[in-house]
Amino acid sequence: MKLTTSFGSVLAAGALILGLAVPAQAATTVDTYPETPKLNPQLPLVHTLHGSDSIKANIHNPYPVCNAWEDYRTVAYKVTDSFTPAGTVSTTNYTKDDINLEQSLSKTQAIKLNVQGDQTSTVSANAGYSEKGASFGIAASFAQKIGLSASYELSWQVGQKIGPYKVPAGHTGEASYGFRAVTFSGTQQYCKLDGTWSNPTPWVALVPVKNEVQVRTYDTLTGAHPGINPAELTDEHETAPVDPETHETVDAADPTPEEVQDLTGVTPEAPVELNTTHDIAPHFTVSSAKAAGYAGVVAVKLRNEGSKRYFNENGVTTFRVDIKTADGPQEVDRPISGYGKNGAHIRDLGYDRAKSTRTFEITLSNPVEVGDDQTVATLHFGDGNTKLGRLKNNIVITQTTRLADDNSTNNDQNVDSRSATQDDFGNDIEGLF
């Protein structure tokens, strides 16, 4: 097979390319995963919908963070890009000269905003989108944060023309027309009576971005397969260049050590004077009846060791939780589920077989008050018995985003459960699960 030309025609600027699948072994194999890179400094995206101009007094809570029954919080943890074809036109050139591939459409097709799990549908939206409902306002806000212009509805109309596109002699041309859309996956929360955020519920929004046409020319039938790796093409037959100013990519690579320093606000090499105003320390508790390698529940807790409550009003506070194999067969996964507590959200980032590590990310919603020891998540371990032996795990937790003045990293970086776990009675235990 010889792929001679591959190019796309975009009808609107601002294309977003996310989750590009790379063929695993052959050009006919495509693996598509419905999530963004596991560590993305641009995520999560947070949108808080306030019903009033200010936070009101609350008889249940001296320090409320939201107004009961008025405020809603939407957080997007994943952003995926997709092309939904509406139809395809093609032609085979049996002549010795180039011919045009073009066609006028015979029917109208459309795509609309689609929201699932929305708690704000009865609440007025942010400026400019009140006539569409709150979800579109939230989705439009997210789209603007990643450099796109969201649309409530897109359509291809009867009589609208596709092409013309040049098809070389002896080749087949194929033009797929459809819609580029972005899917935001995350959670929504409402404000409880005590002025704190509820536990998260799932929220998904499919947001139309633009009309698009994808065009291919090929000299064999397999040439039309979307799994062709552009990297295998020669310079003479490269795909059309992508303008970096219009084709921005939201999915960044895993952050470099310097970017991680930017996220935490701490430069380890520079001597700093510790600020104890804001400081939280993670640790673990487990029932004394839980035996290492057997089923049971482990609580992830945050103890406020500062002089003020810990709350990131203008951002998020996150922790990475790595569950490692301390004993037993390597590269073997174990059933583990995470559940958020006190408004926190926990996300499973998957299993790294090479490191024998399953990773979760915890994002806080509510404050940790002074002197409080708050449970933010529970990890439910299945039985560790396998055909290759019994698995015993330890947990390592690291704070990844923090308040700007929180420079106390001695108690929140790579905290190992083997030295930071207590039982129900506050006694130190080995911290293997």
What's residue 337's pLDDT? 96
- Asked whether residue 246 is domain-assigned, the answer is no
> Structurally, how many domains does the chain consist of?
2
Last residue of a domain, one of 207, 237, 267: 237
Q: What is the pLDDT of residues 80-106, one digit of tens each?
A: 888 888 889 998 888 888 999 999 988
Q: What is the pLDDT of residues 390-399, one digit of tens each?
A: 999 999 999 9
Evaluated on CA atoms 254, 257, 261, 264, the torsion sign reads positive
Average pLDDT on 128-154 reads 75
Q: What is the pLDDT of residues 210-255, one digit of tens each?
A: 999 999 888 865 554 444 443 443 333 333 333 334 433 344 344 4
pLDDT of 138 strictly over 80:
yes
pLDDT band at 124 (very low <50, low <70, confident <90, very high): very low
Residues 219 and 280 reside in one and the same domain:
no
Residue-by-residue DSSP string for 30-98: ----SS--SS-TT--EEEEE-SSSSPPPBTTBSS-SS-TTT-EEEEEEEEEEEEEEEEEEEEE--SSS-
pLDDT of 115 strictly over 90:
no
Residues 227 and 328 reside in one and the same domain:
no
What's residue 402's pLDDT? 93
- Asked whether residue 253 is domain-assigned, the answer is no
Residue-by-residue DSSP string for 97-128: S-EEEEEE-SS-EEEE-EEES-S-TTS--STT
289 — alpha (psi -120 to 50), left (phi > 0) or beta? alpha
pLDDT of 28 strictly over 50:
no
What's residue 306's pLDDT? 93
Residues 228 and 262 reside in one and the same domain:
no
- Asked whether residue 242 is domain-assigned, the answer is no
Neighbours of 304 (CB within 10 A): 20
- Asked whether residue 244 is domain-assigned, the answer is no
Share of the chain above pLDDT 70, in %: 74
Residues 149 and 276 reside in one and the same domain:
no
Q: What is the pLDDT of residues 43-79, one digit of tens each?
A: 888 988 888 999 999 999 999 999 998 999 999 998 9
Residues 266 and 123 reside in one and the same domain:
no
- Asked whether residue 156 is domain-assigned, the answer is yes
Cis-peptide into 44, omega within 30 deg: yes
User: Among 22-31, 315-324, 331-340, which stretch is predicted with the lowest mean pLDDT?
Assistant: 22-31
pLDDT band at 121 (very low <50, low <70, confident <90, very high): low
User: Among 261-265, 371-375, 380-384, which stretch is predicted with the lowest mean pLDDT?
Assistant: 261-265
Residues 282 and 219 reside in one and the same domain:
no
Q: ∠ CA 297-298-302 to the nearest 5 degrees?
A: 145
Residues 173 and 313 reside in one and the same domain:
no
Mean pLDDT of the chain: 79
Residues 231 and 318 reside in one and the same domain:
no
Buried b (16+ CB within 10 A) or exposed e, 384-421: beeeeeebbbbbbbbbbbbbeebbbbeebbebbbeebb
What's residue 375's pLDDT? 97
Query: Which whole-number Å values give the CA distances from 204 to 111, 188, 244, 263, 291, in the listed order?
Result: 16, 9, 28, 26, 39
CA atoms of 165 and 168, how far apart (whole Å): 10
pTM here?
0.71
Residues 389 and 351 reside in one and the same domain:
yes
What's residue 383's pLDDT? 96
Tokens describing residue 266: 């701490």
Domain residue limits at 47 = 5-237
Q: What is the pLDDT of residues 248-303, one digit of tens each?
A: 334 434 444 444 444 444 455 555 567 789 999 999 999 877 899 999 999 999 99
What's residue 126's pLDDT? 33
Q: 172-190 and 336-340 as β-strands: parallel, antiparallel, unpaired? A: unpaired
- Asked whether residue 306 is domain-assigned, the answer is yes
Residues 88 and 140 reside in one and the same domain:
yes
- Asked whether residue 430 is domain-assigned, the answer is no
- Asked whether residue 207 is domain-assigned, the answer is yes
What's residue 223's pLDDT? 55
pLDDT band at 315 (very low <50, low <70, confident <90, very high): confident
368: β partners: 310
Residues 416 and 269 reside in one and the same domain:
yes
CATH number at residue 307: 2.60.40
Residues 228 and 275 reside in one and the same domain:
no
